[in-house]
Amino acid sequence: MLRRQEYRRLFQYEDLQSADTFRLLRLHAGRGEKIQCSLDHFMLDIDPSPLYTAISYTWGKDAALHQIYLQDGSVIKVRKNLYKALQAIRDAESDNLYWIDAICINQNSDQERNHQVKLMADINGKANKVLVWLQSSDEKADVTKAFEYVHAAATYNQDDDSVYRYLSRHQSRNEDDWRSVQRLCKLRYWTRKWIIQELVMARTVVLKAGNAEFPMTDFETFCYQLSRRDLNEQFQRLDTPAKRIWQTVNASPASRLALQRLDAQRSNQPRRLYELVENYASNECQVLCDHVYALYSLAGEHRRYLNIDYGASPVQRLVDILDFVTNHEDMPPAKVMAFANLLIRLLRVHNHELAQGYPLLENLWLTIPATVLGTAEPRQETQATLKARKAIKPFEAMPIYTFSTDQVPWTSIDNNQHHRNMSVAVGRQDMAHFSIAGTNFQGLAACVVSHGDMVWNFSGTKHVFIVRTSQNFQASIVGRAYLFQSTTHNGNSADLCYAGDAVGDYEFGEYDRSAGEEEEGG
């Protein structure tokens, strides 16, 4: 006979009444399956502030089916991994306060999520400690042995080569130790996006797996000493198992996060959001916009200018983020397009959404300075260009950008061409050979090159762009090109050397002039 499932009404969140209010979960003392708790509202700026622990964990992708019971008789449903964490951290004798994002934030309210994301730095920073529940519900690996090994290595002596000394003097047992450390570093937890700010902003971090607990400071020391370049040669000379520990840890997201936490403690320099997004692009999150929002707290005070909006369309978010990094973080012009492409991939903004959201993109103005390197002259094939083609890769298709040239800065127009002119990639054998008049530079362009076309360079880029002007005060970027510097032998052109890294340093004589600041709308 099947047991009838107990029906309880779902907990109804009360609105937070002020800008600096947040909730804490009071986990009541107890044993057994049933978890009882209450939710209380607190002010961030009250003195003294309440003592609480923030929980950092892996959400998981399973449905929220496990019930925790509130004092008013209602329930909150949580996923399996959080339920197991609550059972593990609950004290049998006393109630304790915890901040847990899935419970303390009303996940059904975009408005509340927008507001609470902006408080994350303070919430995690004011917590007495951050407790890391390391394992997901489906991960069975025992990492207790790794805890013991890391602690022994980090505290082996008081010197700054303690870890190396420990590895070198205990090499006979390093095979089993390597496998345990490998299991620790490969836990899914380390790949999560949200844990980055949760750990970096914390005062104190404790790692927990099952009943075992371990201070993050030992793991930070362990990772830092293994990452020291001045000890590379010594680590290279270790026997294979010990060397594997060195290699495994250095290549892991766990080590990168530990080093990031150390760096944040030693430096008060604010981080740029676009650098954080680039550095942690491979970390995972369930909600796509959290690829950016989860890193919000790590940026400097200027972060307040970023619009946080969980209810916005993908294109609106793209515009908000690009506007922020270009106007408040001084993103180098050369990075703008590459960063936009990264955001499109992370946020999964589809082409049809970009097309439908074009009015929003029209309002995004990016100022990008360019230098005119000279005038392009089509050239016939040579032995040198045949050889150079073998060293390059095909160019992916790019849209044609058209500008109005009757005012400075030039402004983009007719952006529907962004969609009309997309084509297939241009193979390296199909690229057009050209030279820049008055210089020893030659190039291979992924477009037809006509007499009078200009060659542009954007600061920091390794490729140049072919720009064609017309009689009606318009100019278009029609394609990209590889640039080479020709060498001579006995007075004859003998070879072409790739010049991508040196373009910005070359003196272009009469052509060394700025094209002005080109503003691209959308």
With residue 346 as reference, give the H or E element that holds it. Answer: helix 333-346
For residues 54 and 198, is the Cβ–Cβ distance under 8 A? yes
CA 145 to chain centre: 31
Nearest to 368 by CA among 472, 522, 507, 511: 522
For residues 231 and 162, is the Cβ–Cβ distance under 8 A? no
Nearest to 95 by CA among 71, 116, 119, 77: 71
Instruction: Report which DSSP code applies to 453.
Output: -
- Residue 103's pLDDT is what? 96
With residue 327 as reference, give the H or E element that holds it. Answer: helix 314-328
**pTM, entire model:** 0.74
Residue 486's SS3 state is strand
Q: Which amino acid is at 142?
A: D
Tokens of residue 276, six digits:
């954080």
Residue 441's SS3 state is strand
DSSP-assigned beta bridge partners for residue 489: 492
Residue length, the chain?
A: 522
- For residue 188, is it left (φ>0), alpha (ψ between -120 and 50) or beta? alpha
392-396: long-range pairs with CB below 8 Å, 24+: 392/428, 392/431, 392/444, 392/482, 392/498, 393/428, 394/425, 394/426, 394/427, 394/428, 394/446, 395/425, 395/426, 395/431, 395/446, 395/479, 395/480, 396/425
For residues 103 and 76, is the Cβ–Cβ distance under 8 A? yes
**CA–CA gap between residue 520 and residue 364 (Å, rounded):** 8
Nearest to 131 by CA among 185, 50, 188, 205: 205
**CA–CA gap between residue 278 and residue 76 (Å, rounded):** 36
Give every CB contact of residue 326 below 8 A, 6+ residues apart in sequence: 336, 366, 367
For residues 98 and 175, is the Cβ–Cβ distance under 8 A? no
**CA–CA gap between residue 296 and residue 172 (Å, rounded):** 45
Tokens 């345990």 identify what position? 180
Nearest to 377 by CA among 443, 435, 448, 439: 435
Give every CB contact of residue 300 below 8 A, 6+ residues apart in sequence: 270, 271, 272
Ordered alpha helix ranges (H), 347-437: 351-356, 358-362, 383-389, 417-420
Tokens 């094209």 identify what position? 515
Residue 86's SS3 state is helix
381 phi and psi angles, rounded to 5 deg: -65, 145
- Residue 409's pLDDT is what? 64
- Residue 514's pLDDT is what? 36
pLDDT, one tens digit for every residue, the chain (522 residues)? 334 455 678 999 999 988 899 999 999 999 888 999 999 999 998 878 899 999 999 998 899 999 999 988 999 999 999 999 999 999 999 999 999 999 999 999 999 999 999 999 999 999 999 999 998 877 877 888 999 999 999 999 888 889 989 988 887 666 788 888 899 999 999 999 999 999 999 999 999 998 889 999 999 999 999 999 888 888 888 877 788 888 989 999 999 999 999 998 888 777 899 999 999 999 999 999 999 999 999 999 999 999 999 999 999 999 999 999 988 998 876 688 789 889 999 999 988 888 788 778 777 776 677 889 999 999 998 888 888 888 888 887 777 878 888 776 666 665 444 444 445 677 878 899 999 999 889 999 999 999 999 999 876 678 899 999 988 888 889 899 999 987 754 444 556 676 655 444 444 333 333 333 333 433
Tokens of residue 32, six digits:
């057994």
- Residue 419's pLDDT is what? 43
